Structure 1
Amino acid sequence: MTTLARLIESCTELMSDIGEASMRNVGDGLLRAYRDLPADRRAEFFTHLVEAYGVDPRRVDSAYAAWSATGPDKARAAAAEIELVDATEPLRQRLFRRINHAPGATHALTELRSDLRALLPDHPHLRALDHDLHHLLGSWFNRGFLRMEEVTWESPGELLDHLIRYEQVHPMAGLDELRRRLQPGDRRMYAFFHPATGIRPLIFVEVALTRGVAADITPILRPGPALAAAEADSAVLYSISNCLDGLAGVSLGSLLIKQVIDDVGAALPHLSTFVTLSPIPGFRRWLDAQEAPHLRELRHRLTGLDLSPEQHRGGSAEVDALRPHVVAAAARYISMAKDDSGRPLDRVARFHLSNGAEAWRLNWPADPSVNGISQSYGAMINYRYEPAELERRHEGFVRHGTVALSDAVSDLLTSHPGSCHPASPPNERKSHP
């Protein structure tokens, strides 16, 4: 029997009338068979799940007719509603819940979804399956099951290895770079953990305590004298990395950032400012596609420009001349470039603005790394988190598409020719301290 045939047979057995002990054993066998399945056969297995374990259209039609025909009898209406809900739930969700009886199944299903997501661009018919897994994993990884911990240099070596492996924003070459981010007194790192994933974090955030708001990533990443926590006035969240692609779309980052701000603020109440120092990953691609003459000239001058700190430590007339134009273009991109659904085109901007942060300050040059140049010509942005304003700004963004901007960022939209468009969506101005 082929591995694919064993998988299909295991699914059939799991959906039969078996007890919990049998579910555990069959589910375990199914997951082992899936691990043995060649990568080029996964799409066949996923297609089988979509086609064999969907909804029964006749049951849905019957349940809907019964529900729509209920009269004033509340008990009858409740029963009809329950049947309608049950009828519209794909059998796949029941199958995954039964698989989840197996040891280590929750983590295994996140990995399975990661494999599935890699296939979606070429197999869009599998999106219903991804939706089912997203729904279930969102329930299994909700806030009630998560545990936040501060990670230190004394944390287990396996955990430290995970941090090096999964750092996505500012990659680390090894333990020496990790030590710089963990050991000094002006550095903090926090992570969410879940019982199903053990010592492997779901997501982690890196924090630098600074005097004044950092506008350049280089001093944060390079070794240097530590600032005493009592002398800091700002907390800069400069990196947030997901460790499980299978949890994409499950809201973890927003929860982690807000809890980190609460915990750091409680431990260090003298801190007055909480900001990020964030990449602008789509800025270069957007700028390279613009046809306005002043933007074409800007990218021509940026191409090949040496932005290394060594080159410009003493100041550069060329950089100083370009800076106002670069940050003005970045302000336009952050506040006005939209995707098809009307949300900010930049994925990092969508994340922070939907959390209730404001676009507070544009910085250039701020990231001279190869990745920083390729993403944004070296530009970065501070998003400011003000606990008292988060809920109001979140509601404004979700309900009305309002992009919260400091006065400094708003002013950039009108300070340079062609930087503003009369049909731009609403922005909220906020004074720059």
Structure 2
Amino acid sequence: MNASTWLTRSVSRLRPDAAPAAEPEKEVASSSSSAPVKKKAALPPRTLNERLEATLRRHGEAMAPRALRRALTELQSVVDARVSEVEAGRRACEVMRWYAALDAAERRDVWLLISERFAPDAKKLSSARARHEAAVGTLDEGQAEVHLRRALASPRARLLQRFTIDPDGMRFLIDLRAELLPQVKGERRFVPLDAELEHLFSTWFDVAFLDLRRISWDSPASLIEKLIQYEAVHDIKSWADVKNRLDSDRRCYGFFHPRLPDVPLIFVEVALVDHLSDGIVPLLDEAAALATADKASTAIFYSISNTQSGLRGVSFGDSLIKRVVETLQAEFPRLKVFATLSPIPGFRPWLAKHAGEMLARLDDKRARALGQSLGSLPPTPERLLAAADDALAFDARSPVRQMLLQCAAEYLGRATVDGKPVDPVARFHLGNGARVERLNWAGDPSSKGVKQAYGLMVNYLYDLKRLDKHRALLAQGKVAVSGDIDSLFLKA
């Protein structure tokens, strides 16, 4: 190779958009001839440490080694013990501005840097653990525990905390985790960063630091727009729709954090009525006559929406309901019943897997009646599931309708994993101490309701005197249900 050729190839490798360097080739036999075919051998991805020590970027890597080292230096400057909190906050703000301009792949490199290069000191941690183990049962155990806690404190936590010095820092970290979460399952190296953020958020967003505020039609338009944006259960279709949900016979409450004063972290919509609601359509009917709130006996929680995906794992929904119940009782002493009208989002996919098992538990009489209705003796899972797609057309005497109600009761009252309800909405309300009160046929006839649960909805009842009893039952793997639900259970 002459000097000119060498220079041409070497300089081209320095370009950011350069193609990968030539890789070792292997000879493989061609399927169409006996002549060998050369095939490139794939190189394994480099570790973060290898990339930081390298000179050139390899094909498929986001940041070049030099840019990666510069990014690490900038992050380290934020936690420099020699600078004041004010200066650390200014540096964190600069990092946030720089981060905002990065593309998705470059941001992944930043996550790797924070995860791997800001971990606790391994040697100090090992020494502290050994010291604590040796001190267990002695007078020095308490001091050894303090020493271990300090060793466990990572520079990563300090780095993240310093971002919050800036007024926009909390918003930055929540958005960062929202973008990070979908990637964690496929990239275990992000787990330390995700765990650190979740731990910090659990402290920063403790309910003791949150404000409960009512959201009404008189609230700022920007806040009402947030309801439209974040409503996750029943989509808000218009301003008339949202006005109906904020009318005099309704209440809407949200939890707010001082650092995010204009965004509810979670909000709940409540209808004040005189009976246990069995369908969502009347509650969302904009033309319906207003109820007299002062005479209402029942508060129906018909929508609860979390707004920040970056706060996943931080629980404050149970505290929200408790605080709202207390607030409503103070305003409306006549209220005696507190219940939900809830979707059953996991029922259809669950039934698709367990229909055969449910059918096998029918007695001969019920199986024969259902089979005759489905046109198949004995009834088959395929026929049942096909018929269920027209669930809204079945009258009260239909064996198919009765079977679907029984399967839904089994799903909500008996289907558990590790002692917890399979359905996510059931898991939330039952974990708060509610009980499964009543199933409502055609409770949500919308396309979403049919797709989730063949139009079925459920009432969870919050019996304020039995919440602890119901929680204790759930801790034993037993779901609290009403007599109506119990009567629907299939034989074991």
Instruction: Give the TM-score normalised by structure 1.
Output: 0.88
Whether 1:299 aligns to 2:363 is no
Relative distance call for 1:69 and 1:201 in structure 2 (3 A) is same
- Whichever of the two has the greater Rg, that structure is 2
Q: Aligned residue pairs: how many?
A: 404
What is the CA deviation profile of residues 266-290 of structure 1, one whole-angstrom value per residue up to 9, with x for unaligned ones? 2112122100001111000001122
In structure 2, what is the equivalent of residue 407 of structure 1?
483
Matches within 5 A, 1:237-386: 237-290=301-354, 291-292=356-357, 293=359, 296=381, 297-305=383-391, 307=392, 317=395, 321-339=399-417, 341-386=418-463
CA distance in 1, matches of 2:229, 2:397: 34
| Superposed displacement of residue 32, structure 1 | 1.5
Q: What letter corresponds to residue 53 of structure 1 in structure 2?
A: F
SS at match of 2:167: coil
CA distance in 2, matches of 1:389, 1:214: 21
Q: What letter corresponds to residue 103 of structure 1 in structure 2?
A: P
In structure 1, what is the equivalent of residue 235 of structure 2?
171
Whether 1:201 aligns to 2:264 is yes
In structure 1, what is the equivalent of residue 372 of structure 2?
none
What is the CA deviation profile of residues 243-264 of structure 1, one whole-angstrom value per residue up to 9, with x for unaligned ones? 1111111111111111111111
| Superposed displacement of residue 65, structure 1 | 1.4
Relative distance call for 1:4 and 1:371 in structure 2 (3 A) is farther
In structure 2, what is the equivalent of residue 234 of structure 1?
298
Matches within 5 A, 1:15-94: 15-17=79-81, 18-70=83-135, 74=139, 76-94=140-158
Higher relative contact order by CA 8 Å / sep ≥ 6: 1 or 2?
1
Relative distance call for 1:214 and 1:52 in structure 2 (3 A) is same
| Superposed displacement of residue 335, structure 1 | 1.9
Unaligned runs of 5+ in 2: 1-62, 360-378
What is the CA deviation profile of residues 24-65 of structure 1, one whole-angstrom value per residue up to 9, with x for unaligned ones? 101111112222121232222212222111223322221111
Relative distance call for 1:319 and 1:11 in structure 2 (3 A) is farther
The 8 Å contact of residues 177 and 197 in structure 2, kept in 1 or not, is answered as yes
In structure 2, what is the equivalent of residue 96 of structure 1?
160
Relative distance call for 1:319 and 1:99 in structure 2 (3 A) is farther
Relative distance call for 1:287 and 1:72 in structure 2 (3 A) is closer
| Superposed displacement of residue 124, structure 1 | 3.2
Matches within 5 A, 1:380-399: 380-397=457-474, 399=475
The 8 Å contact of residues 254 and 355 in structure 1, kept in 2 or not, is answered as yes
CA distance in 2, matches of 1:377, 1:28: 50
Q: What letter corresponds to residue 338 of structure 1 in structure 2?
A: T
The 8 Å contact of residues 23 and 102 in structure 1, kept in 2 or not, is answered as no
- Give the fraction of aligned pairs with identical amino acids, expressed as a percent: 35
SS at match of 1:55: coil
In structure 2, what is the equivalent of residue 218 of structure 1?
281
CA distance in 2, matches of 1:321, 1:209: 35
| Superposed displacement of residue 230, structure 1 | 3.1
Whether 1:117 aligns to 2:193 is no
CA distance in 1, matches of 2:326, 2:173: 32
| Superposed displacement of residue 301, structure 1 | 1.2
Q: What letter corresponds to residue 151 of structure 1 in structure 2?
A: I
User: Quick check: 90-99 or 213-222, which moved more?
Assistant: 90-99
SS at match of 1:69: helix
Relative distance call for 1:118 and 1:188 in structure 2 (3 A) is same
Q: What letter corresponds to residue 407 of structure 1 in structure 2?
A: G
CA distance in 2, matches of 1:71, 1:371: 57
Q: 2:200 pairs with 136, 139, 155, which one?
A: 136
Relative distance call for 1:71 and 1:280 in structure 2 (3 A) is closer
Relative distance call for 1:70 and 1:122 in structure 2 (3 A) is closer
The 8 Å contact of residues 278 and 380 in structure 1, kept in 2 or not, is answered as yes
RMSD between superposed Cα atoms in Å:
2.0
Q: What letter corresponds to residue 381 of structure 1 in structure 2?
A: V
Relative distance call for 1:12 and 1:405 in structure 2 (3 A) is same
Q: What letter corresponds to residue 440 of structure 2 in structure 1?
A: N
The 8 Å contact of residues 414 and 421 in structure 2, kept in 1 or not, is answered as yes
Q: What letter corresponds to residue 38 of structure 1 in structure 2?
A: D
| Superposed displacement of residue 9, structure 1 | 2.5
The 8 Å contact of residues 287 and 295 in structure 1, kept in 2 or not, is answered as no
The 8 Å contact of residues 4 and 41 in structure 1, kept in 2 or not, is answered as no
In structure 2, what is the equivalent of residue 425 of structure 1?
none
| Superposed displacement of residue 4, structure 1 | 5.8
What is the CA deviation profile of residues 375-431 of structure 1, one whole-angstrom value per residue up to 9, with x for unaligned ones? 11111111111122112322332x322211111111111xxxxx243xxxxxxxxxx
